[in-house]
Structure 1
C-alpha cells in the first residue's frame, strides 16, 4: 500500500449555527502513525465518524484508501479496523463470543479462520486468559482492550482509533503503545485520535492538531521537533558560563543556559577551556507540547481557556 490513505478537503460539519468541524484538510499517508490531537470537544470524534461514513459532512470531501466516503464505504470499510468513543459489547456474553458475533456481522470475515483470528487478537491485546469470561465482569480497561481486539480482527490495512488508551492504567497504556508500534512495523497505517500529548509524542510519525474544529497544525513529528539551532548547557557555575559565552546566551534559568549554536562539542570546548564545569549538553528541541501550545495560541480567540 502506498500514497495517501486518508484525505479530506474542506471537511465541515455544522449542527445548526455550531461548526463542530470547520473546513479541515487531513493528509494521512501510507505507513503513518498519525496522531490527531485536540482537547475534548475540539471536533476529533466528529471527524473520525465522518471518515468512516457514520456521520455525513455538511461540506467537503472524504477519501479513505483512495475511495470516496460514504459512497464507497461498503468497499473500503472491510479493510479498516476502528474503535470509536468506546467499545460496545453484550455483557452476558464472553469476549470471545462478542468477537465472533462482530466478525460474523460484517463483510470480509472468513468463518474458517474466525476461531484462530479471535484467539490471536485476544492474545495481542492482553486478554488471552480471560476471553471466555462474561464481559460484564470486565473492567473499563479490559473493555477497551476488547474493542481494540475487534478493530484488529480482519488484519486491517488502516486502523482508526479514538482515544484507544481511555481507562487504561500506565502499564496498559505502555502495552497498547507497543502493540501499535508492532502493527505499524508490519505495514498497518494507524490514525489515532487523542488528547494525550506525551503519549502521541512517543508513538506518532505525523501529527495534526485540531482546535475548536479548525486544523491549526499538520506536519511530520520529526520536523516539528527538529533542533532549533541552539544548545542547552547545564553547569554548576552559570554566571561564569554566561561571561565566557557572552551574547551567545539566549536564556538563563538557574543552572540551565540556552546558547546560540548547534555544535555542543564546540560549546563544551569553549567552556571547559575556560575552567567552567559542564554537567550537561544537548541540542535544544521543542517538545510536542510546546509546538502544540504555540500553534493553538496562534489560532486566537478559538483557543479554550
Structure 2
C-alpha cells in the first residue's frame, strides 16, 4: 500500500527526513511512533503530495507520488495536523464543501455520505453551531469524518485522538478496528504508546528523521526469558528455585525461565499455590526507548 525508498527531505541546512524506507502492507494497522520533531508529520505530508521530497521514491497504492497523486487521493482518507475546516461554518456545511471540492465527489449522494460519516464518528446529532464553538475533541471527530467520506482503501491519520477523552479514544479505536476489518489499511501516527499497542499490528519508530525500527508488534514484544509469578508462597518458591528468582515485590516474583508452562508444572508439583503466572514480554515503551536517543522537549544548559 505504501513503499518509500531512500526518502529524504531537507529544509535548507536542516534534514527533517533521512533515507526512510517505509513499508505499509495491505491490511496493516501500522503505528508510526517517535519523539516530537522526529519527522513523522513531514513524512506523512510527503506521502500525500503536500510536500515534495528532496530525494527518494514514494509509491502509494502502487502509483508514484507526487506524479500520479490525483489518481491516488480519491482512494485515501487523511487527517494531518488537525482538521482544516472553516471555523465560521457549521460542521455539516464544512463536510459538504469538503466533499464537493475533493476528487471523485458526486452531488447526488453527497448528503448520504456526509450523514453516514458523521454517524460513524459520533457526530450524528450536531447542530448548526460553527466549528469554532466545537471542543477540540469534536473538531478531531469532524476531521476524521471528512477522511471517511469516500470509504477509503487507505487511511493516513496524524494524531487522530488528540483532544479526546478516554471514552472518545476507545470509540475511535473501535471505529478504526471495524474499518480495518472491512478492508481499510490504516497508517496511524501517534505519541500515545498505549493506543499504538492496543490497535496496531505493525510499528515503525522515527528518530531524528530516520526510520530506526520497523517490524510486526508481536515480534518487537518478544519474550524476555523471564516469568512473572504471583504466589502467597513466595519464600518457598525462592528456596525451591535456587537462585532463579531475579526480583521480588511482595508476592510478585520475576523468575529467570524460558518456558512458563514448565515452570508452572514444576511449582504445582511441589505444592506451591499460584495466583497468576505468565511469560514476561518487552513493553512497547521499552522498545521505543531502546530505539530512540532524542527528545525535542529537553533544553540542555550550556556546559560551564
Tell me, what secondary structure is at the counterpart of 1:284? strand
Within the candidate set 260, 275, 282, 1:279 is matched to: 275
Give the Cα separation in 2 of the matches to 1:199 and 1:105: 32
Deviation digits for residues 13-66 of structure 1 (CA, Å, limit 9, x no counterpart): 112222111111101000001000011111110010011111111111111111
Q: Confirm or deny: 8 A CA contact 2:233 2:272 kept in the other structure.
A: yes
Which of 58, 61, 64 is the equivalent residue of 1:68?
64
Aligned to 1:246: 242
Paired position in structure 2 for 1:195: 191
* 8 Å CA contact retained: 1:12, 1:21: yes
**Conserved in 2, the CA contact under 8 Å of 1:42 and 1:211?**
yes
Q: Which runs of 5+ in 2 are unaligned?
A: 299-304
Is the counterpart of residue 127 in structure 1 residue 123 in structure 2? yes
Structure 2 CA distance, aligned partners of 1:246 and 1:60? 56
Aligned residue runs from structure 1 range 1-305, under 5 A: 5-130=1-126, 132-296=128-292, 302=294
Partner deviation per Cα, 1:226-253 (whole Å, 9 max, x = no partner): 3334321122343321221124334444
By how many angstroms is 1:186 displaced? Answer: 0.3
Is the contact made by 1:217 and 1:295 (CA closer than 8 Å) also made in structure 2? Answer: yes
* CA displacement at 1:116 relative to structure 2: 0.2
CA distance in 1, matches of 2:98, 2:115: 14
Q: Which moved more, 1:52-61 or 1:234-243?
A: 234-243
Task: Give, in whole Å, the separation in 1 of the partners of 2:291 and 2:38.
Answer: 14
- Size of the aligned set, in residue pairs, is 297
- Segments of structure 1 that go 5 or more residues without pairing to the other structure are none
Give the Cα–Cα distance (whole angstroms) in 1 for the partners of residues 31 and 164 of structure 2.
18
**Aligned mates of 1:15, 1:195 — CA distance in 2:** 24
Contact 1:238 1:256 in 2 (8 A): yes
Q: CA deviation at 1:136?
A: 2.2
Task: Indicate the SS of the match to 1:258.
Answer: strand
